[in-house]
């Protein structure tokens, strides 16, 4: 290996000597470990000459670099449009004195995202002014001092877990320490320190920051690698309410709705209702069961259910076949040795498995999928790029990419490719931090290009055994990001509405999801044991996708709104986020969504993206908000059909003294009507939270099959005063399906309020 590295540097020097006059250039670097290239100071004419030189694939001018990684702060324009509005110190005060609670897998207290090292702007050790009373429990890997001012409380809850299984003390770690990585990742997205370098396997990806980088963190560990129980989660939520968190982040939740009771009266939803009653802004992941309809696991109007979407950043990976053809895929790894100058032999896994003399062994899926080193002839695969195939093992979730990388490292693969299998069709691939050069080829069409080339260059005897491997190629650098994608796009996995009220899937007159936030390919802090995903073991950062990643974005943004408006209730914060959301993407088109087809995009609707994609800058100054309190939610519950008031009292401790005339009359920043017959009038009450009188003009995009009238169609509202708005729906056509529209209130001081409409005419 050392010989090859030295040879690469000699090739660089020879290219320069043979092309440019000695003394007319200055060689700066030979890059030979992660990319085969050199840096040289030349004139423009010399650069053109180099570009034409044999062996030089490309010449690129160094135009400087811009440091970025979690990127979502920039994507959401926090440094430019949000943090400066909160404080002239920007990120150094964003989230100051707001406590965000995380019910999750714990936290890694030694991670720099949670350090208290800013000597010029130290965290105060006096938390009494925060109206918060936490505790710092200690234990394995979480010694005294782990609560450092950034982390101000840490507890763990394990009674349910210990009652269910025998916890492994070395794996599960009975302390607030994060043995998984998930909790640390989530906490860093919402409240991680600003400007933390993200370095993985020696590669610098940029700098990370949470949404509210000065917010304090309260940890409530309730999920363990061996098991997670609802009772531990509920105990954690309960303690968080008692401690006095301002914001509660729930990137965890039940796997399925309750069977024997209404969804909104399940214990998880009731716990969130009590949190809302206590003044806590609660955010919840809607789940990763998309794109199936009614797959959301968030139901109640008192919690913000968060869907996941993409940003415009991606990490393209490419396989270059000998002859120049490029096949694009997914990966997050360095290039094969010598790229872009050196090509390596390609070997299909099924052509390199160990044989018993001349007897052919039956081909099994773990051979095709490169799962075990002892399946292969070491001499056949050493120094080659091995083509593995997505087969039964991956389809049944028994095989792993980690096993491929272990096989590759054990046998000395130069790299690996995991191609799609026509038997199973295209598969969904996400960037993975590979410890060996690798690329995922998730489409059958791209896989067939590789296989056709391979067969053209491979010679076999009459039995089909390879006598000569002739196919060659290389894997190029896959860790550099590009920023040119259509964004946001609702992620395929993100759960969809409409929400339902019971196990029979009767529909609920509540919009879910509530909001869309970045949740695709998100960088965040990690924990070295990495029980969540063994492929990430030993790493301090990870890139993940899921509504778990979208949820802390809204938690952090909610913390910023709370910091700027400390008297606002959770409903006001939720309203500000929803009514200011964007329904259009970066190209000015309606937000798209992924669906069942791997490469296709479709227009999204409210059941995909809720009110739209969060716009933090506008949410800080919404103009109008829709207030609602605990009593309003009780009235909502009492208006739901087929729920006995005795059941509601038993669940909430409150009697049904009043009920809404229709569930859609809850003062909520959306209107959802699951069964509209003839006509219905719903009312919304708006409060002017600006410091100026403003006049609003209403307009409507009615859902298909309806007409919608606003009464009044325009109004003037002074500061801190309220204005009622009646929205009258009339059926013009019975469609027996949901259609979508919106009410838009345009203010004279440039505030714009959007109320999503989702209506099913029957």
Which residues, at least 6 apart from 104, have a Cβ–Cβ distance to it below 8 Å?
178, 182, 183, 186, 187, 219, 220, 221, 222, 223, 249, 251, 252
Is the confidence at residue 720, as pLDDT, over 90? yes
Is the confidence at residue 495, as pLDDT, over 90? yes
Domain co-membership, 417 together with 548: no
Q: Is residue 522 part of a domain?
A: yes
How confident is the model at residue 33, as a pLDDT?
36
Structure tokens at 418: 């995991």
Structure tokens at 302: 């008192």
Q: Is residue 63 part of a domain?
A: no
Query: Which of 480, 505, 521 finishes a domain?
Result: 480
Q: What's the total number of domains in the chain?
A: 5
Looking at the DSSP bridge assignments, the partners of residue 760 are 738
How confident is the model at residue 4, as a pLDDT?
56
Query: CATH no. for residue 348?
Result: 3.50.30.30
Query: 178 and 184 in contact (C-beta within 8 Å)?
Result: yes
Q: Which of 299-313, 432-446, 521-535 has the lowest mean pLDDT?
A: 521-535
Domain co-membership, 137 together with 272: yes
Domain co-membership, 122 together with 267: yes
What does the pLDDT average to over 492-501? 96
- pLDDT confidence tier of residue 541, bands split at 50, 70 and 90: very high
Query: CATH no. for residue 154?
Result: 3.40.50.200
Structure tokens at 85: 């509005």
Q: Is residue 721 part of a domain?
A: yes
Query: 32 and 9 in contact (C-beta within 8 Å)?
Result: yes
Closest by Cα among 309, 326, 600, 353 to 466? 353
Q: Is residue 62 part of a domain?
A: no
Domain co-membership, 111 together with 258: yes
Query: 333 and 318 in contact (C-beta within 8 Å)?
Result: no
Structure tokens at 389: 């195939």
Could you tell me which residue, 407 or 66, shows the higher pLDDT?
Answer: 407
Is the confidence at residue 271, as pLDDT, over 60? yes
DSSP letter at 183 equals H
Q: Phi, psi (5° rounding) for residue 587?
A: -95, 5
For 107-118, the pLDDT digits (tens) are 999 999 999 866
Domain co-membership, 343 together with 282: no
Domain co-membership, 520 together with 555: yes
Structure tokens at 181: 């990585």
- pLDDT confidence tier of residue 459, bands split at 50, 70 and 90: very high
Structure tokens at 430: 């996400």
Determine the structural domain holding residue 545 and report its residue range.
72-312+486-619
Domain co-membership, 37 together with 164: no
Domain co-membership, 385 together with 452: yes
For 237-268, the pLDDT digits (tens) are 999 999 999 999 999 988 788 888 899 999 99
Write out the catalytic residue numbers.
104, 182, 548
What does the pLDDT average to over 184-198? 96
Kindly report the average pLDDT of the chain as a whole number.
90
Q: Is residue 65 part of a domain?
A: no
Closest by Cα among 434, 522, 552, 432 to 107? 552
How confident is the model at residue 596, as a pLDDT?
86
Domain co-membership, 33 together with 112: no
Q: Is residue 64 part of a domain?
A: no
Query: CATH no. for residue 695?
Result: 2.60.40.2310
Domain co-membership, 355 together with 456: yes
281-to-98, 250, 321 alpha-carbon distances in Å: 11, 11, 53
Could you tell me which residue, 74 or 199, shows the higher pLDDT?
Answer: 199
Q: How far is 169 from 729, CA to CA, in rounded Å?
A: 59
Is the peptide bond preceding residue 712 cis, with omega within 30 degrees of 0? yes
Q: Is residue 56 part of a domain?
A: no
Is the confidence at residue 32, as pLDDT, over 50? no
Is the confidence at residue 723, as pLDDT, over 90? yes
How confident is the model at residue 600, as a pLDDT?
86
Query: Which of 638, 661, 684 finishes a domain?
Result: 661
Q: Is residue 445 part of a domain?
A: yes
How confident is the model at residue 29, as a pLDDT?
39
Domain co-membership, 129 together with 263: yes
Q: List helix spans (H) across 287-391.
A: 365-368, 378-381
> What residue ranges in 410-460 does DSSP mark as E strands?
415-419, 438-441, 458-460
Element containing residue 83 per DSSP (H, E): helix 83-86
Is the confidence at residue 357, as pLDDT, over 60? no
How confident is the model at residue 74, as a pLDDT?
79
How confident is the model at residue 531, as a pLDDT?
76
For 324-343, the pLDDT digits (tens) are 899 999 989 999 998 888 99
How confident is the model at residue 65, as a pLDDT?
22
Is the confidence at residue 27, as pLDDT, over 70? no
Domain co-membership, 409 together with 505: no
CA 379 distance to own-chain centroid: 41
């Amino acid at each position: 290996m050392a010989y090859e590295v030295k040879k690469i540097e000699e090739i660089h020097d020879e290219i320069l000597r043979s092309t440019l006059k000695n003394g007319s250039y200055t060689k700066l670097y030979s890059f030979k470990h992660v990319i085969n290239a050199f840096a040289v100071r030349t004139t423009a004419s010399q650069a053109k000459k180099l570009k034409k030189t044999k062996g030089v694939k490309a010449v690129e001018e160094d135009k400087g670099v811009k440091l970025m990684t979690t990127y979502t702060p920039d994507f959401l324009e926090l440094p430019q449009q949000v943090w400066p509005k909160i404080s002239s110190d920007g990120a150094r005060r964003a989230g100051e004195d707001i406590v965000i609670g995380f019910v999750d897998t714990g936290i890694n207290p030694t991670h720099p995202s949670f350090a208290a090292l800013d000597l010029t702007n130290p965290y105060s050790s006096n938390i009494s002014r925060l109206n918060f009373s936490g505790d710092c429990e200690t234990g394995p890997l979480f010694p005294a001092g782990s609560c450092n001012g950034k982390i101000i409380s840490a507890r763990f809850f394990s009674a349910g877990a210990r009652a269910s299984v025998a916890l492994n003390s070395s794996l599960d770690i009975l302390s607030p320490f994060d043995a998984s990585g998930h909790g640390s990742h989530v906490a860093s997205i919402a409240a991680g320190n600003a400007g933390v370098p993200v370095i993985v396997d020696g590669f610098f990806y940029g700098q990370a920051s949470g949404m509210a980088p000065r917010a304090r963190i309260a940890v409530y560990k309730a999920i363990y690698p061996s098991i997670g129980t609802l009772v531990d989660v509920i105990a954690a939520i309960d303690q968080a309410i008692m401690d006095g968190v301002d914001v509660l982040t729930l990137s965890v939740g039940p796997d399925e709705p309750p069977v024997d009771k209404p969804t909104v009266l399940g214990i998880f939803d009731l716990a969130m209702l009590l949190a809302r009653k206590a003044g806590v802004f609660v955010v919840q992941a809607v789940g990763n069961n998309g794109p199936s309809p009614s797959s959301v696991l968030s139901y109640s109007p008192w919690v913000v259910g968060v869907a996941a979407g993409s940003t415009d950043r991606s990490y393209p990976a490419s396989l270059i076949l000998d002859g120049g053809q490029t096949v694009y895929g997914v990966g997050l790894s360095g290039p094969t040795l010598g790229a872009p100058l050196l090509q390596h032999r390609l070997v299909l896994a099924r052509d390199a498995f160990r044989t018993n003399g001349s007897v052919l062994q039956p081909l099994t899926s773990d051979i095709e999928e490169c799962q075990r080193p002892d399946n292969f002839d070491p001499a056949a695969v050493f120094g080659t790029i091995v083509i593995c195939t997505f087969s039964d093992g991956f389809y049944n979730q028994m095989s792993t990419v980690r096993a491929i990388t272990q096989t590759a490292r054990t046998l000395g693969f130069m790299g690996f490719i995991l191609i799609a299998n026509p038997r199973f069709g295209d598969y969904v691939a996400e960037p993975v931090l590979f410890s060996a050069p690798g690329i995922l080829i998730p489409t059958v069409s791209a896989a067939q290009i590789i296989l056709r080339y391979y067969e053209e260059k491979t010679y076999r005897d009459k039995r089909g055994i390879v006598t000569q491997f002739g196919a060659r190629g290389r894997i190029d650098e896959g860790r550099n990001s590009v920023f040119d994608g259509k964004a946001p796009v609702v992620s395929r996995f993100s759960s969809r509405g409409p929400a339902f009220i019971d196990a029979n899937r009767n529909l609920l007159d509540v919009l879910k999801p509530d909001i869309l936030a970045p949740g695709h390919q998100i960088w965040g802090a990690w924990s070295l044991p990495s029980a969540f995903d063994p492929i990430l073991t030993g790493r301090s950062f990870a890139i993940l996708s899921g509504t778990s990643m979208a949820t802390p974005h809204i938690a952090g943004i909610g913390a910023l709104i709370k910091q700027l408006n400390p008297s606002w209730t959770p409903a006001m914060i939720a309203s500000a986020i929803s009514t200011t959301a964007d329904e259009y993407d970066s190209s000015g088109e309606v937000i798209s969504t992924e669906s069942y087809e791997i490469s296709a995009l479709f227009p999204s609707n409210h059941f995909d993206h809720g009110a739209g994609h969060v716009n933090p800058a506008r949410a800080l100054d919404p103009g109008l908000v829709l207030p609602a309190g605990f009593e309003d939610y009780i009235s909502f519950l009492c208006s739901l059909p087929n729920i006995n008031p005795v059941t509601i009292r038993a669940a909430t401790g409150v009697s049904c003294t009043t009920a809404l005339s229709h569930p859609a009359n809850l003062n909520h920043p959306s209107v959802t009507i699951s069964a509209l017959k003839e006509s219905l009038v719903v009312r919304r009450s708006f409060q002017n939270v600006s410091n100026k009188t403003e006049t609003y003009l209403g307009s409507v995009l009615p859902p298909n099959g309806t007409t919608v009238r606003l009464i009044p169609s325009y109004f003037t509202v002074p500061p801190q005063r309220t204005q009622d708005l009646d929205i009258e729906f009339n059926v013009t056509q019975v469609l027996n399906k949901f259609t979508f529209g919106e009410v838009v209130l345009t203010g004279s001081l440039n505030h714009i309020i959007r109320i999503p409409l989702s209506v099913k005419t029957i």
